[in-house]
Structure 1
Amino acid sequence: MAHLHSSGWFHLSAAHLRTLLMVGSAGMALLVMRLRVKAAEKPASRKKIVMPPLGMSTGFLMFAMPWMRFDLRIALAAFAAGLLLSLPLIRTSRFEVRDGEVYLQRSKAFLLVLIGLFALRIVLHEAVGQYLSLAQTGSVLFVLAYGMMAPWRAAMWVGYQKVRRTLTEEG
């Protein structure tokens, strides 16, 4: 239960903190889905493709803190799982030309993939959380997410470049 700590700060039990993190994760997942739908309404650009993995890469600074670290084999497994989980994202992210501009195609399958990945994230959070601290669990899931983001965005870059090339050849 949350209560006022003697220091004047609220204290959350581990169970309440996990619940709060899950609710926050659900909120972030809904925000990402909304942003993806909105992104399909505006032309794509190289910057929009490259910036998310570059911005996310600053998260690796968390490993400067000893309590965030875990075994390298777990990191490699999490990254490999991310690579595998990037495949549905890659398959459902296509570009098209509209009004002389390159757009990301809207896809119901893409939203279903995002929902499925979020559900899997919850299951993995609970499974990994049985063996690692809350901070380490967050670190593992960050590595997994980066393992999904980097190849997905690399594939988007290639697809975007192909569509841009055809657009310049035609025009």
Structure 2
Amino acid sequence: MCVLSGQAAQWISTIVIIAFALSVIVIRLRAARKPTNAKKILIPPLGMSTGFLMFVTPLTRVPLTYALAALLVGVLFSIPLIASSKLERHGGQVYLKRSPAFIVVLLVLLVIRIALHGYIEKYITIPQTGGIFFILAFGMLLPWRIVMYMKYKRFLKSFEATPELRESNA
């Protein structure tokens, strides 16, 4: 049986995180080619919220101050995502338009998260680190999606929606 050293395991973990992050970026860019609606905006944070069940397990529990700090960092990280996401209308459909800065914002956030991960895991257990970064990711996703939903509703009201636009974006 082959056992990896701590440093080798950390490098493999980092490479896997980067691969997953890059695949998420590709998926998000492809999704921008399709029209959006209220469900597509609101379902991801609802689906992700089930991840809080991890805290049923004592191994993943963190002090409340750590959780609040992770949530605050996530909210701060959501600001560039909010600023770089816009809506536009094409042929009676609403699309999420990504600014060219969107990819740069995601990559910079990835680098910051990897750097923070390396620092934080020195002080708490690996399951707790996972919990902290889940809270950070949720803190990033939730405000971004709430603001996008509010922008979406304002966008629909900003022009006289045709019946097909109302039906396809319900």
TM-score (structure 1 length as normaliser): 0.89
Pairing 1:45–2:37 present: yes
C-alpha distance in structure 1 between counterparts of 2:112 and 2:75, whole Å: 15
2:168 corresponding residue in structure 1: none
Deviations 1:23-60 (A, max 9, x none): 12111111111111111110011111111111111111
Say which of 132, 135, 143 aligns to 2:124.
Answer: 132
1:170 to partner: Cα distance: 5.1
The residue aligned with 2:85 is: 93
Distance 1:105 1:145 in 2: 22
**How many Å separate the matches in 1 of 2:131 and 2:161?**
46
**Cα drift, residue 16 of structure 1:** 3.0
User: How many Å separate the matches in 2 of 1:142 and 1:91?
Assistant: 22
1:78 matched residue in structure 2 = 70
- 1:149 maps to 141
Counterpart residue type for residue 125 of structure 1: H
Matching of residue 31 in structure 1 with residue 7 in structure 2 = no
Asked which structure has the greater RCO (Cα within 8 Å, sep 6+), the reply is: 2
For 1:7, the equivalent position in structure 2 comes to none
- The answer for unaligned runs of 5 or more in structure 2 is 163-170
Other structure's SS at 1:148 match = helix
Structure 1 Cα separation of the partners of residues 4 and 16 of structure 2: 15
Unaligned runs of 5+ in 1: 5-9
- Aligned-pair Cα RMSD in Å: 1.3
The CA deviation at 1:166 is 2.5
TM-score by length of 2: 0.90
Aligned length: 162
Matched position secondary structure for 2:85: coil
For 2:118 and 2:131, the matched residues in 1 are separated by 14
Shift of 1:13: 3.7
Alpha-carbon distance in 2 for matches of 1:94, 1:111 = 14
**Aligned counterparts of 2:146 and 2:20: Cα–Cα separation in 1:** 23
In structure 2, how many angstroms separate the alpha carbons of the residues matched to 1:112 and 1:92?
A: 10
The secondary structure found in structure 1 opposite 2:89 is strand
Does the alignment pair 1:20 with 2:12? Answer: yes
- Once the two structures are TM-superposed, the CA of residue 14 in structure 1 deviates from its matched residue by 3.2
Match of 2:115 among 123, 126, 129: 123
